[in-house]
Amino acid sequence: MSIARYVKFWRFAEKSDRALRTKRNIISAWVAVLSAGLFILAIAYASDSRHFMPGPVTTVHGTLEQCTDCHSNVSKGQFGWLHAVFAPADPDKDTKSCLTCHMMGEAARNPHGLELARLDAYVRRAEASPHASKRSTASRIREATLPVERTFPEGVFCATCHKEHNGQTFDLTAMSDAQCHTCHSVQFDDFHSSHPEFDSYPFRRRTRINFDHSGHFKKHFPEWRTKKNAKEVPPACTDCHTVSAEGGHMDIKPFEQICTACHIDQITGVERATGPKGITLISLPGLDLETLKEKNVDVGEWPEDAEGEISPLMRLLIGRDEKHRNTLKVTDELDLLDLTEASDAQIAEVKTLAWEVKRLVHTLTTAGMTDFFRRIKSATGARISKDLATQLSASMPHDVLLAAQREWLPNLASEIDETPGEENEDTSPVFTTETVSDESSGTDAAEQEEEDAEEKPKTVSASAASAGQSGSWRIDPFGRLIKGNQPPEDEEDDEAEEEASDQEGEGSDDEVDTADSDVSENNGAEEIEVDTEGWTELGGWYRKDFAILYRPVGHADPFLRAWLDLTSRLFAEDENNLARPAFEELTHKDAQGQCAKCHSVDATKNASRVVNWTPSSLASRESPFTLFDHRPHFGVAQKDGCFSCHGMSKAKGYLETYKGTDPYTYVPNFKQVKKETCAACHGKMQVRQDCLLCHKYHVNEIATPVLTTEVPKN
C-alpha cells in the first residue's frame, strides 16, 4: 500500500511553502528587533559600561574602575558612548591618560622616547655601520602599503603597541621581531644570521679608573707574588669584580677590599721617595730680603730661611680680586729669592704679595674659616656649603695656624694692626644652608656636573620637578661633591668620616707639640727635633719649615677629594685661571695622594675638568638601548670563565691614553665582544634571539609618581 494513494490533490496553482517562509521571515524580524531592544535595555539598566569590554584589563590596571579613566572620548553614564561613535578619536588624548602615571617626559610620543635629534644621530650611526640590510618581500609590501609615516604622522601612541583588554595576565609588552623592524631602516631576518656586527661593544671609552689589566697580570701580580705577599694577589676575577644589581655590569669592589693592600702606601706617601708627603696649603714664600732692604721696601718681619714658593692652593686664597690676581701674575715672573734685577713696579708687587701673605696668615689665625672661604668665594665666585667647606678645610686645627704664625711671624698681629689693611668688604654670606649656587661668571654650572653630556641619557626623576636650584653644589651623604640632585652613586664612603673625626685628635696632638716647642723656646728648654711629616704618618695637618701641609689620610681622602672636585670644576684652559695650577698640582704624576694615578681626568664640554671617582654609574651607561645580564651567562661560560667572552687584548698603549683628557681615545684591555660570540648560542641552539631579549624600547626611565601625601596638620 503506497502513500501515494493518499496524496490525491495537488496544489499546483498555489504558491507552495509560502506560509513557512513567511513565518520564518516574521520570526527573524522579531528576533532582530527584540535582541536590539534587549541590548538597549541592558545598557540602560547596567550600572556601568564595563560590560562593553572585550576582555578584562591586565591586573595592573585592574583598579581603574571607570572606563573614562583611560577612554577620553566617551563620557560617563550608560549612553555616554553614543556620541563618541561619530566623534573623531584623537589618540593623543588617550595617550595623555597613560602618561599621567607612566611619566616619560617631553619626548614620550617619539619613537623610543628620544628627542628627535638624538634619534636621528642613532639612525645615521646605524646606517653607517657595516650591515647587510635585508628587506624581506613582506617588509617591502608593508612599506609600500602601510608606510610608517602614515601610521605615525603625529607620533607613536601608547595604544599603537600596547593593547589592553586582552585578559588579566596578558603581557602588554610582548612584541614580535617583525614589529620592531617595521620602523627601522636597517632590517634583517634574525639575530644569528643577519643582525649587524657589534660596533665597539661594550667598550666605547676608556675606563674611568685607570687600571691596566695586562700590566697587572703580566708584571705587578707576578712581582708581588714572588717578592712580597702572594696572599694579597687576587687569584680570580671575582675577587675584584662583582655583579651589579641589574646584572649588566661587573662592578668593582671597594678599594679597601681589593687595592689597598698594594696601593695604600702610595697614597699615604709611605712609599714616596722624594718631595713632601703632604700638600702645601699655606707656605711663606722665600723673599730676597736683602734687595728689599736695599730698596727700602718694608715687608715687616719675614723669616730669612723661608725658601718655598706660594703654593697653588694659596693662590686661590690670595687672588681674591683683580688687583691681587695681577699681583700674582707679576710675581710669577719673578724669582722671589733674587730680586736684584726687578723693577720698582715689580718690587712693589712683591711687597704687596708679602703683605698679602701675612694678612692671610693673620686673618686665618684670627678670623676663622669663614674668611678662608670668603677668599675663595671672591676668587672663584663659588659659594660652598658648610659640608663641603668642612672637607675642603679638613678640620684644620687652629693651633696649627697659630703655632705656625708664632714661629714664622711672631709679631704678625701688631704688624697687621699698624698696616692699613685691605679688609674684605664683602659681607655677603659665604656659606649656603644646604646647597650652594654658583654665582660666578663664565662657567655654566649645569654643564659641569655631567660626565658625558652627549652620551648619557637624561634621567627625569620624580623629584626633579620639585628640585630646587639645579646648579647647586653640595656634599652628598657619602661625602662626594655633587651638583644639584644627582642620584647618589654606588660607593659608600664611611671611612671619610672616620678619618675626619681622627683629624681632631691629630690636630690637638700637633697643637700640643707646637705648644711644647713654643714653651721650650721661651723657657730655654731643650728643643726637640721632630720629623713632623713622619710623625703624621696617618695623615692630617702638619707644619714643616715654613709651610702648613696636609698629608692624605688614606684612600678617598676627603680633603684631596674636595679640592680636586672644586678645582676641576673651576678649571679653565685660560692660563690666568686660578684653579688651574692647583688642579694641576693635585693631579700631577707625582702629586701627593696619587689620586690621578688611578682616577682618570676627563675634559668636559666647556673645557673644565672632571675627576672620575667611580667606575661608572647607572646614569652613565653607554648603551641605553641594550640590556645585558651577566648572571644567566655564568652558568654556561666555558672553562675560560670570563675570558670566554672577554678575551685579553694584545693592543698596547693603554696607559698612554690616560695622559690626555679625551675619554674616547682609548685602547681597551679586553677585546670588544663580537656578535659571533653571542651568536654562538643565541640563534644556533634553542636559545632566544628575539629583539626584546637584549634591547629595550623605552630607553628612558618610565617613572611612576610618588604619592604626594601631606603631613597631617593637626
Partner 1 sequence: MAKVQIIDRPRRWDVPFASRRLPANAVAGIMRLPAFAALDRREFPDDLQPQDIIANDSRILSFRTGDVIYAAGAYQTSIFIVLNGAVRMQTAVPAPPEAQRTEADDATWLRRTFLKGRQRLQKLEWKRDIVPQPSSVLAQNDIFGETEAMARTARQASAVAAADRTTVLELRWPGARELLHWSDAFRRRVENLYRIRSVEAALRQSFLFNGMDDELLRGIAKQCFFETHGGFGWTHIYQRQRTEKPSGDRPLDHEPVIVEDGQYLEDLFLLRSGFARLTVQTNHTEQTAGFLKAGEVFGASELGESMRTGGPALASFGLRAVGYADIVRVPAHFIEERALHAVAQAQRTAGPPRQRVAYRGRSQLDFVVDNRLINGTKAMLVDTTRCVNCDDCVRACAATHDNVARFERQGFSHGKFSISNACMHCADPVCLVDCPTGAITRDQATGNVLIDEKTCIGCASCESACPYNNIRMIDARNSSGQLLVDKDGTHIRTAAKCDLCTGRAGGPACVRACPHEAITRVDLRELQTLTN
Partner 2 sequence: MRQLTRNAAVTIVAIAALFWIVGQYETALRDPRLLDGWILAAAMMAQLSYHVRKQLPALTLGRAASWLKLHVYAGYFVIAAFLMHTSFSLPETSLEWVLWILFMVVAVSGIFGLFLTRSIPARLQHVSADQVTFEQIGAARARLAGEVDGLMLNSVKNAASAALSDYYADHLYGYFRKPQHVGAHLRGSRYPLQAMCDDLDRLESHPNSKAEELLEKLKAHVVAKFDLDHQYALQGLQHAWLFIHIPATYCLIAMSVLHTMVVYAYSSGVR
The residue ranges that bind partner 2 (CB under 8 A) are: 1-4, 6-11, 16-17, 19-20, 24-25, 27-29, 31-33, 35-36, 39, 50-56, 67, 71, 73-74, 81-82, 84-86, 88-91, 93-95, 138, 141-142, 146, 148, 151-152, 157, 159-161, 163, 166-167, 176, 178-179, 181-183
End-to-end CA distance of the chain: 104
Helix or strand or coil: residue 474? strand
**Distance separating alpha carbons of residues 504 and 496, to the nearest angstrom:** 13
Closest CA to 60 of 175, 156, 164: 164
Q: Which partner in partner 1, partner 2, none is near 12 (CB below 5 to 8 A by kind)?
A: partner 1
**Of 13 and 706, CB closest to partner 1:** 13
**Distance separating alpha carbons of residues 256 and 553, to the nearest angstrom:** 13
**Of 5 and 51, CB closest to partner 1:** 5
**Of 18 and 150, CB closest to partner 1:** 18
* 5 in contact with partner 1 (CB under 8 A): no
Q: Which partner in partner 2, partner 1, none is near 200 (CB below 5 to 8 A by kind)?
A: none
**Of 36 and 512, CB closest to partner 2:** 36
Alpha-carbon distances, residue 220 vs 223, 234, 497 (angstroms): 5, 12, 32
Binding partner 1 (rule: CB under 8 A), the pick from 1, 6, 15, 341 is 15
Beta strands (DSSP E) in 461-525 are 472-475, 481-483
**Of 178 and 627, CB closest to partner 2:** 178
* 25 in contact with partner 1 (CB under 8 A): no
* 9 in contact with partner 1 (CB under 8 A): no
Alpha-carbon distances, residue 204 vs 75, 240, 598, 633 (angstroms): 52, 22, 19, 22
Amino acid at 498: E
* 639 in contact with partner 1 (CB under 8 A): no
Binding partner 1 (rule: CB under 8 A), the pick from 1, 6, 10, 47 is 10
Sign of CA dihedral 404, 590, 395, 374: positive
**Of 50 and 125, CB closest to partner 2:** 50
* 16 in contact with partner 1 (CB under 8 A): yes
Q: Which partner in partner 2, partner 1, none is near 15 (CB below 5 to 8 A by kind)?
A: partner 1
Query: Under a CB-based contact definition with an 8 Å cutoff, are residues 490 and 208 in contact?
Result: no
Binding partner 1 (rule: CB under 8 A), the pick from 1, 3, 6, 7 is 7
564: region left, alpha or beta (phi > 0 left; psi from -120 to 50 alpha): alpha
Q: What is the distance, to the nearest Å, from the Cα of residue 206 to the centroid of all Cα atoms in its chain? A: 16
Q: Which partner in partner 1, partner 2, none is near 89 (CB below 5 to 8 A by kind)?
A: partner 2
**Of 7 and 465, CB closest to partner 1:** 7
Binding partner 1 (rule: CB under 8 A), the pick from 3, 13, 117, 245 is 13
The residue with cell 656634599 is: 475
**Distance separating alpha carbons of residues 218 and 558, to the nearest angstrom:** 33
**Distance separating alpha carbons of residues 550 and 543, to the nearest angstrom:** 9
* 19 in contact with partner 1 (CB under 8 A): no
Q: Which residues contact residue 144 at a Cβ distance below 8 angstroms, ignoring those fewer than 6 apart?
A: none
Stretch that binds partner 1, among 8-16, 267-275, 381-389, 584-592 (CB under 8 A): 8-16
Helix or strand or coil: residue 312? helix
Closest CA to 480 of 615, 583, 387: 387
* 85 in contact with partner 1 (CB under 8 A): no
Applying CB under 8 A, the residues found at the interface with partner 1 are 7, 10, 12-13, 15-17
